[in-house]
Structure 1
Amino acid sequence: MTKRLCLLSGLGLALLALTVAGLCIDPPAIARGAHVARLGLLVGLLGVSAAVYFGAVFLVQRGNWPRQTVWLVLGIAALLRLALLTTPPMLSTDIYRYVWDGRVQAAGINPYRYIPVDPRLAALRDDTVYPHINRKEYARTIYPPVAEMIFGVAGRLWDSVNGIRLAMLACEALGIAALLWLLPLAGLPRERILIYAWNPLALWSFASDGHVDAIAVGFLGLALLLRARRLDGWAGAALAGAVMAKFLPIVVAPALLRGGRFWRPTLAGLAVILAAYAVYIGAGKHVLGFLPTYGSEEGLDSGSGIWLLAGLGEFTTLPAYAAKLYALGMVLIFGTLAIWLLRRSLPQNDAQRLCQDAGLLAAVTMVAISAHYHWYFAWLALPAVVAPSAALLWLATAPLLLIIGPIPHDRFLWPSLIYLPAAAMLLFDLYRRRSASRRVPPQSGEMSCPLPSR
């Protein structure tokens, strides 16, 4: 036991050392995109960090651990985040828009009403935040209302990049705390929180760059906990909170609606969504911000931004309707998967199955949309804490490769390093789950796993 605990400690310290080494590679130059070689070196270090992380994940799932192990895991996690707070954001400028939106709200202005270059906001500009805002010349904010509310609170309390980063870490801490309560319900030891807390993609996405996805992590963790405790309405409201921070978590809704629990979480979720938008409805049609045109800019409308279609486009000219046909196919696949999950009977204690189903839905969605921003995948590490499938762990970590693109404008070859293995793992996982369900049909009252004795 002592040797394994020392090994786990060594892996944690190695991850911390690699993180600090990454922070020493001229953060201002990387943030400006001024030094590709240094960015490549950083990605190399993150690749080694991912290998160390996978080793720690493998180790923490093996055997029994002393009670104090969870404090070791959380202590290393806290040190990793504190280290990343010591330098400016390195891999994205999105956080400057968050600070700006908070500042606009602190001035009593609806953040959806004006683009940053509008003369009516001139008094709010400075030399620290405003020059770094992306799309400031043409785009209103894209972020949903719950995210904007948190930006507004941060803007009133601490109008700065670090203010936003601390707000994101507080939301992330909510998700971690919820999973610490959920793990015993699933019959699993709490030290498995390492699967999320040490994940390098989550670390750099939230502690360093302060991405809004951390809000979704907090509310999604709360939704999973509440659903496992059979508080269905509250679970629906919490999931709606996650969706109103980042739209992607809506795809896990079928996991929360299994077992005939439909109306209460659905109505509670819709109430939260309507109430959140009502706060900003003064912006009228602009309350959706940049969202209606985002798909076009990212190549989703044309299919050029979708991994599979981009690959097919390398060999043949795709018809104009290819993207719509692809979208229809993905909707049918997702719908079939959701119906299969909804129709399955549930064991009495289904905390593990809940996270397994949520993770499967999330992984299928992320492969289907093939996002090319690495931080879009960080939230997948949360359900992996309870249900760590190979596909989910891969998708929650491997997108670190998307930080750098060695081939300009490439949407297929380099991303294939992520999506090809992920697709293969997902197909294997689906086959295995389908085979298992045919061999051993779950019975009413069956326990999915033993409850903890400690």
Structure 2
Amino acid sequence: MTKRLFVLAGLGVTLLALTVAGLCIDPPAIARGAHVAKLGLLAALLGISAAVYFGSVLLIQRANWPKQTIWLVLGVAILLRLALLTTPPMLSTDIYRYVWDGRVQAHDINPYRYIPADPKLADLRDGTVYSHINRKEYARTIYPPFAEMIFGLAGRLWDGVTGIRLAMLACEALGIASMLWLLALAGLPRARILIYAWNPLALWSFASDGHVDAIAVGFVGLALLLRAKRRNGWAGAALAGAVMAKFLPIVVAPALLRGGRFWRPTLAGLAVILAAYAVYISAGRHVLGFLPTYGSEEGLDSGSGIWLLAGLAELTVLPAYASKLYALVAVLIFTLLSVLILRRAAPENDAQRLCQDAGMLAAVTMVAMSAHYHWYFAWLALPAVVAPSAALLWLATAPLLLIIGPIPHDRFLWPSLIYLPAAGLLLLDLLQRRAASRRPQNPPGEMSCPLPSR
């Protein structure tokens, strides 16, 4: 065991060294996108980091670790995040919009009302934040109300990139704490939190770039914990909080609603959503911000931004209805999977099955959506802590490849390195789940883990 601890510590130190090395590659040049070779070098370092991470995940699952191992895992996780806080955001400029929205709210202005370039907001502009805001000339903010509330709080407490980053790390800490508790409920070693805490995609997405998805991580983790503890209404409210920060987590709702637990979490979630939008309703129809036109800009409505359709378009001319047909098929597959999950009876202690179902729903959605940005995938590492699968771990890490695009305007060839393996692994996971469902739930010598008494 001592030897294994040394190996684990060595992997953690290696991951930290690779992260620091990445931070030394001229962060301002990478942030400006001014040096492709340096960005490629950073991508190579992140690829090596991913390999070290996968090795750590395999190791942490294949041994019985002493309780003290959790302090090693958390210590490395904290050092990694502190290191990434030492340089400006490198791989995205989205955080500057968060800072701007927080600043606008600190001046008691509804962030959905004006685009940043509006003359009415001229007094709030500076050279540090305003100049880095993307789409500032034509797009209102796209972020849901709960995210805006956190931006506003950060804007009042610490107007700047550091304030937003710390707010995102606090939300991430909520997710980590929830998963530590959930691991205990599942009867699994808490050292498995490494599966999320050392994930390089999550590290660079949140500690470095401060992406809003960290809020979703915190509240998805809380929702899973509350659902495992049978606090169904509160679980629905927590999931709604995640959805009001990043819409994507809505796809895990069937995992929370299975076993006949429907009305309480649904009503609680709807109440949270309505209350969140009510705070900003003075913006009228603009309360949805840039969202209605985002799909068009990203090529989702035309199909040009969808990986599979982009590949088919290389072979033949697709009909005008191709994207609608694709969406219909994707919805049908997701609906079928959801129905199968909703009909499944939940065991007494379903923490592991809960995370397995949530992870499957999230993975299917992300493959179908084929998002263009790496940080969209970081939240998938969360359910993998309790229920790791090859598809989930791949999708939670491999999108680091998206930080570079060797082929201009390519939506198929380079992304195929992510989505082809993901589709194969996802199919394998589905087949394994089907085979497992046909086996007896408690084979000889195996016992279910009971919930702790209250």
Query: Fold match, TM over 0.5?
Result: yes
Name the counterpart of 2:315: 315
The separation in 2 between residues aligned to 1:405 and 1:378, in whole angstroms, is 19
2:61 is equivalent to residue 61 of structure 1: yes
Name the counterpart of 2:130: 130
Give the drift of 1:439: 3.0
In structure 2, do the counterparts of structure 1 residues 438 and 110 end up closer, same or farther at CA, with 3 Å as the change threshold? same
Structure 1 residue identity aligned to 2:198: W
In structure 2, do the counterparts of structure 1 residues 118 and 182 end up closer, same or farther at CA, with 3 Å as the change threshold? same
Give the drift of 1:309: 0.2
Name the counterpart of 2:231: 231
Structure 2 contact 349–450 (Cα < 8 Å) conserved: no
Name the counterpart of 2:144: 144
Deviation per CA, 1:385-441: give whole Å up to 9, x if none. 000000000000000000000000000000000000000001011011112212336
Name the counterpart of 1:193: 193
Structure 2 residue identity aligned to 1:98: Y
Deviation per CA, 1:233-282: give whole Å up to 9, x if none. 00000000000000000000000001000000000000000000000000
Structure 2 residue identity aligned to 1:36: V
Structure 2 residue identity aligned to 1:127: G
With structure 2 as the length reference, what TM-score do the two structures score?
A: 0.98
Mapping 1:436-447, distance limit 5 Å: 436-440=436-440
Name the counterpart of 1:45: 45
Structure 2 contact 99–129 (Cα < 8 Å) conserved: yes
Gaps of 5+ in 1: none
Structure 1 contact 302–323 (Cα < 8 Å) conserved: yes
Structure 1 contact 202–379 (Cα < 8 Å) conserved: yes
The separation in 1 between residues aligned to 2:369 and 2:144, in whole angstroms, is 19
Structure 2 contact 370–419 (Cα < 8 Å) conserved: yes
Structure 1 contact 348–447 (Cα < 8 Å) conserved: no
Name the counterpart of 1:422: 422
The separation in 1 between residues aligned to 2:290 and 2:359, in whole angstroms, is 28
Deviation per CA, 1:140-199: give whole Å up to 9, x if none. 000000000000000000000000000000000000000011101011010000000000
The separation in 1 between residues aligned to 2:289 and 2:118, in whole angstroms, is 15
Gaps of 5+ in 2: none
Structure 1 contact 187–451 (Cα < 8 Å) conserved: no
Name the counterpart of 2:92: 92
Structure 2 residue identity aligned to 1:149: M
Name the counterpart of 1:333: 333
The separation in 2 between residues aligned to 1:130 and 1:242, in whole angstroms, is 27
Structure 2 residue identity aligned to 1:37: A
Structure 1 contact 363–392 (Cα < 8 Å) conserved: yes
Mapping 1:338-417, distance limit 5 Å: 338-417=338-417
CA RMSD, 1 decimal: 1.2
Give the drift of 1:447: 5.9
Deviation per CA, 1:89-144: give whole Å up to 9, x if none. 00000000000000000000000000000000000000100000000000000000
Structure 2 residue identity aligned to 1:241: G
Name the counterpart of 1:306: 306
Give the drift of 1:62: 1.2
Name the counterpart of 2:182: 182
The separation in 2 between residues aligned to 1:145 and 1:442, in whole angstroms, is 45
Deviation per CA, 1:60-104: give whole Å up to 9, x if none. 111211111001000000000000000000000000000000000
Mapping 1:243-254, distance limit 5 Å: 243-254=243-254
Q: How many residues align?
A: 450
More off after superposition, 427-436 vs 114-123 = 427-436
Secondary structure of 1:71's match? helix
The separation in 1 between residues aligned to 2:247 and 2:96, in whole angstroms, is 20
Structure 2 residue identity aligned to 1:382: L
Give the drift of 1:449: 4.2
Secondary structure of 1:202's match? helix
Structure 1 contact 97–133 (Cα < 8 Å) conserved: yes
In structure 2, do the counterparts of structure 1 residues 295 and 447 end up closer, same or farther at CA, with 3 Å as the change threshold? farther
Structure 1 contact 350–447 (Cα < 8 Å) conserved: no
Secondary structure of 1:439's match? coil
The separation in 2 between residues aligned to 1:89 and 1:63, in whole angstroms, is 37
The separation in 1 between residues aligned to 2:451 and 2:76, in whole angstroms, is 27
